[in-house]
Amino acid sequence: MLPVGRGGSFLAPRPAFFPTERILIAPPSMLYLFDIDGTLVDTGGAGMMALQEATREVFGHEGPALDLAGSTDLGIIANIHAHFEIEPTPERIAAYFEAYQGRLDWNLANGNFPGRVYTGVLEVLNELSKRPHATLGLLTGNTAGGAASKMRHFGLAVFFPFGAYGCDHADRNRLGPIALERAAAHAGKNFTPQETLVIGDTPKDIACAHAIGAKCLAVSTGQFTAAALEAHGADHVVESLDEALAWI
Ligand SMILES: [Mg+2]
């Protein structure tokens, strides 16, 4: 027997104002730009160790203390060169990146660092990948090679067909426009700031999102607390990415 609605008949007549023609509304396109370290993965020190080893290999000495949070690799090696009072020529930068890449790959493969993918990352990436109007990319301070190694090592490479990297520019705020250009080339359409969300774990990710007029979803899995990220103007803060599914 058919259930009977509250009004009496199950097949109640349509109200006069109900549109008879179907209205098709395309879901909005969205571009999601993810940071890597502290946001997607923790390399367990493999990345920091690779920088320290590359510095010893290239300069023959211990380098300065490094502030990696949200920094670009080009910015980091400019600081290392400044510490040794050596001009960072393109040749020296290339040689440093080569040393770093070799150390990073070895550390990830053999170094026994306690790396991990953060809670909720796979759930969010799988969910976004199912959405036909979602485009995913990287916006990271890592070099392109470093980013590729980390994403391959942790099984996430499949989610990220393009990115803007720390070898593209030393200033993270200049990486947003590069990411938008590459997203457009990849997806065949331009994304507006309203259609772009940056996901990261540091104040530098927030600044970099706002520099292109985009919002930033900040996650407190890295070095910064939720309160600190809020104080730096994050548009939404979560403690792990699984809490973000409803919001994105
Ligand atoms: Mg980070």
| pLDDT tens-place string over residues 116-149 | 999 999 999 999 999 989 999 999 999 999 999 9
State the distance from the centre of ligand 1 to the C-alpha of 175, rounded, in angstroms: 14
**pLDDT at 53 (0 to 100):** 94
**pLDDT at 3 (0 to 100):** 42
What is the chain's mean pLDDT, rounded? 89
Confidence band (pLDDT; 50, 70, 90) for 150? Answer: very high
State the distance from the centre of ligand 1 to the C-alpha of 90, rounded, in angstroms: 25
Proportion of the chain above pLDDT 90, given as a percent? 74
Tens-digit pLDDT profile for residues 56-100 = 999 998 888 877 787 898 888 988 898 999 999 999 999 999 999
State the distance from the centre of ligand 1 to the C-alpha of 25, rounded, in angstroms: 36
**pLDDT at 27 (0 to 100):** 65
For range 174-181, the mean pLDDT: 96
Angstrom distance (rounded) from CA 59 to CA 237 = 40
pTM of the entire predicted model: 0.86
Q: Provide the sign of the torsion angle of the four alpha carbons 200, 204, 208, 211, taken in this order.
A: positive
State the distance from the centre of ligand 1 to the C-alpha of 91, rounded, in angstroms: 27
pLDDT above 60 for 9: no
pLDDT above 70 for 13: no
State the distance from the centre of ligand 1 to the C-alpha of 15, rounded, in angstroms: 53
State the distance from the centre of ligand 1 to the C-alpha of 112, rounded, in angstroms: 21
State the distance from the centre of ligand 1 to the C-alpha of 222, rounded, in angstroms: 7
State the distance from the centre of ligand 1 to the C-alpha of 183, rounded, in angstroms: 20
**pLDDT at 245 (0 to 100):** 85
**pLDDT at 68 (0 to 100):** 76
State the distance from the centre of ligand 1 to the C-alpha of 82, rounded, in angstroms: 23
Least confident of 4-8, 53-57, 84-88: 4-8
Angstrom distance (rounded) from CA 224 to CA 39 = 11
State the distance from the centre of ligand 1 to the C-alpha of 140, rounded, in angstroms: 7
**pLDDT at 145 (0 to 100):** 97
Contact in structure between 55 and 66 (CB atoms under 8 Å):
no
**pLDDT at 168 (0 to 100):** 94
**pLDDT at 1 (0 to 100):** 39
Task: Assign 29 to helix, strand or coil.
Answer: coil
Question: HSE-up of 83 (CA within 13 Å, CB side)?
Answer: 16
**pLDDT at 106 (0 to 100):** 95
For range 207-219, the mean pLDDT: 97
State the distance from the centre of ligand 1 to the C-alpha of 218, rounded, in angstroms: 10
State the distance from the centre of ligand 1 to the C-alpha of 56, rounded, in angstroms: 24
CB-CB neighbours of 15 under 10 Å: 6
The H helix count followed by the E strand count for the chain is: 8, 8
State the distance from the centre of ligand 1 to the C-alpha of 76, rounded, in angstroms: 14
State the distance from the centre of ligand 1 to the C-alpha of 36, rounded, in angstroms: 6
State the distance from the centre of ligand 1 to the C-alpha of 2, rounded, in angstroms: 56
Phi-psi region of 155 (alpha: psi -120 to 50; beta: other; left: phi over 0): left
Confidence band (pLDDT; 50, 70, 90) for 8? Answer: very low
**pLDDT at 50 (0 to 100):** 95
Q: Tokens standing for 52?
A: 């320290």
pLDDT above 80 for 4: no
Which CATH number applies to 30-43+116-244: 3.40.50.460, 3.40.50.1000, 3.30.70.20, 2.40.160.40? Answer: 3.40.50.1000
State the distance from the centre of ligand 1 to the C-alpha of 68, rounded, in angstroms: 8
State the distance from the centre of ligand 1 to the C-alpha of 42, rounded, in angstroms: 9
State the distance from the centre of ligand 1 to the C-alpha of 118, rounded, in angstroms: 12
